[in-house]
Amino acid sequence: MLFSFDPRISRLELPESAPAPPDKAALDQFPTYEVFHQRKENSAYVYVGPVHAPEADVAFLFGKEQFSRRFPCTGMWVVPTEAIRVTEYGDDLQSVYDRLPLLPADTLAAPDAAGLEAYDIFHLKKRGKAHTHVGQVQAASPETALQAAKAAFGDQRPVVNVWVIRSADLLRSDEDDRDMWTTTPDKKYREAIAYKVQDRIDRFKQEG
Amino acid sequence: MDPTLDLLYRLADDQLILGHRNSEWNGLGPILEEDIAFSSMAQDKLGHSLQLYTLLHELGEAEPDTVAFTRNAPQFHCCQLTELPIGEYDFSLIRHFLFDHAELLRFEALADSSYEPLALVARKIKGELKYHVLHANTWVKRLGTATEEAITRMQAALEFTLPYALGIFETTAAEPEIISSGLFIGEEELQRRWEESIAKVLAQTALTLPDLRLLTPVTGGRHGQHTEHLQPLLDEMAEVFRLDPTADW
């Protein structure tokens, strides 16, 4: 019988080793959404990680749980993973914008043309870091948005990778809900650092 | 009982018992992220109960751990809604929806309480409750407009749970003084706001809110009368504590 220090588990009278799980049908996962958070007021939104969810509203809930509880957070955006247009990766110290193929001039719409939409642009400055929001551009397609981003933000160095996201695809936290992010302070018990046991271990050893 | 103690015990016991109940979903949630979300909200509720038991301690009651872990069911003032077993996820979600709408409105009102220490705590925790309500609303809207099975199950859970939810608003002898002293707006006014608030969300779904006037509220919890489910919960919750009540954790 399986013994656990949690008496509730022991009471279940489970066998020592669990039986092999049954084969799952393929594709039982929800699609993924990518989450961006804002660590303090007026700072840029930074990519923080993915969640699985059936829709954006639910992804937002899960994003809040996964990514806003362990450090300060003042806002959150979520976007379906498949709505992110990703450039190729460049070398450190260079800019991936330099390697963009030039589109024919007539595909680049004039700034005041009709049919333009807002796109949000995110830069990865270094491999292993997180994509960070740099601003918005107006464009007619993700491809032309990237060209517009090059014009607006292309002087930044280094830029290892760029994400282009149609602004309408981003679900953003509500300004009216600011107080939702102020969770009850003094939650050190949620963090490993709060478990100070060395004193007790030393004492226990001495007693033993 | 003193009106402030009476009110605080009801608030704190609701949070502790529902927090413990909801923690039972830990590891069993329908998907990983939802498991984490539901468990985190359960932990929030335990945190809220600690803050409220601390207020009671400041008024001369026993230590929070003693109050939480050494009383028996008849000494608890939680409504019976909070002590029911977790059941299926439809029931747990509907209970979460009905309870947290009342909690958010309750603590928004308590932010203006004449008892300043309570008003301070209420201002701190209403932000968290806002998120709890957002979580509940999102699932109720999602499942309440999804497949026939989802709608049927959510409707059945709603009809089963509502009489217990009306028990949230059961009053005690201290009620007139609680209102006249400005401690709290009172259960009747809270219930009026709650009905408006849940109706607004349910109207966006295929679920039907029954006529609440035709339901008989399940009461007794505020006076220590509980279902057979509370004592086993308390025994389990305090099992480790009672091994050595003087242990230093």
Percent pLDDT > 70 in chain B is 100
Confidence (pLDDT) at A38: 93
In this prediction, residues A99-120 reach a mean pLDDT of 73
In this prediction, residues B201-227 reach a mean pLDDT of 97
Contacts of A32 (CB under 8 A, 6+ apart): A50, A51, A52, A53, A80, A81
Residue B51 pLDDT > 80, yes or no? yes
Residue A111 pLDDT > 60, yes or no? no
Nearest CB to B124; choose among A30, A53, A184: A184
Q: Exposure of B209 by Cβ count < 10 A (0-12 exposed, 13-18 middle, 19+ buried)?
A: middle
Structural domains for chain A: 29-83 (3.10.20.520), 87-170 (3.10.20.520)
Encode pLDDT of B28-43 as tens digits.
Answer: 999 888 999 999 999 9
Which has more confidence, A54 or A111? A54
Pairing mode, strands A161-166 and A84-86: antiparallel
**For chain A, what's the residue count?**
208
Confidence (pLDDT) at B52: 97
Mean pLDDT of chain A: 86
Confidence (pLDDT) at A198: 82
Nearest CB to B33; choose among A51, A57, A179: A51
Confidence (pLDDT) at B93: 98
Q: What number of C-beta contacts closer than 8 Å exist between A and B?
A: 60
Could B33 and A54 be called an inter-chain contact, meaning their C-beta atoms sit closer than 8 Å? no
Could B127 and A181 be called an inter-chain contact, meaning their C-beta atoms sit closer than 8 Å? yes
Which has more confidence, A13 or A176? A13
Residue B216 pLDDT > 90, yes or no? yes
Contacts of B2 (CB under 8 A, 6+ apart): B174
By the CB < 8 Å criterion, does A67 face chain B? no
Confidence (pLDDT) at A180: 79
Amino acid at site B78 = C
Q: Identify from B134, B137, B139, B201 which residue to disrupt to test chain A contact, counting A C-beta atoms within 10 A and taking the largest count.
A: B134
Encode pLDDT of A41-51 as tens digits.
Answer: 899 999 999 99
Residues of chain A contacting residue B135, judged by C-beta atoms under 8 Å apart? 61
- When mean pLDDT is compared over A59-63, A139-143, B98-102, the highest value belongs to B98-102
* A residues 122..181 contacting B (CB < 8 A): 177, 179-181
Nearest CB to B131; choose among A66, A180, A190: A180
pTM of the entire predicted model: 0.84
**Could you say which DSSP state residue A95 is in?**
B
By the CB < 8 Å criterion, does B138 face chain A? yes
Distance CA A37, CA A122 (A): 13
Which has more confidence, B15 or A9? B15
Residues of chain A contacting residue B36, judged by C-beta atoms under 8 Å apart? 62, 65-66
A25 confidence band (pLDDT: 50, 70, 90) = confident
By the CB < 8 Å criterion, does B145 face chain A? no
By the CB < 8 Å criterion, does B32 face chain A? yes
Domain B3-243 has CATH 3.40.120.10: no
H/E stretch holding A32: strand A32-38
Which has more confidence, A99 or A136? A136
Distance CA A52, CA B93 (A): 19
Encode pLDDT of B121-177 as tens digits.
Answer: 999 999 899 999 999 999 999 999 999 999 999 999 999 999 999 999 999 999 999
Distance from CA of A119 to the nearest CA of B (A): 27
By the CB < 8 Å criterion, does B203 face chain A? no
Pairing mode, strands A75-80 and A32-38: antiparallel
Q: Identify from B20, B52, B120, B131 which residue to disrupt to test chain A contact, counting A C-beta atoms within 10 A and taking the largest count.
A: B131
Q: Identify from B28, B31, B143, B237 which residue to disrupt to test chain A contact, counting A C-beta atoms within 10 A and taking the largest count.
A: B31
Instruction: Annotate B96-139 with DSSP letters as a single string.
Output: HHHHHHHHHHHHHHHTT-SSHHHHHHHHHHHHHHHHHHHHHHHH
Encode pLDDT of A164-194 as tens digits.
Answer: 999 999 999 987 777 777 765 556 666 666 6
> By the 8 A CB rule, do A138 and A117 touch?
yes
Confidence (pLDDT) at B16: 98
Residues of chain B contacting residue A9, judged by C-beta atoms under 8 Å apart? none
Q: Identify from A24, A65, A67, A177 which residue to disrupt to test chain B contact, counting B C-beta atoms within 10 A and taking the largest count.
A: A65
Residues of chain B contacting residue A66, judged by C-beta atoms under 8 Å apart? 33, 36
Confidence (pLDDT) at A186: 58
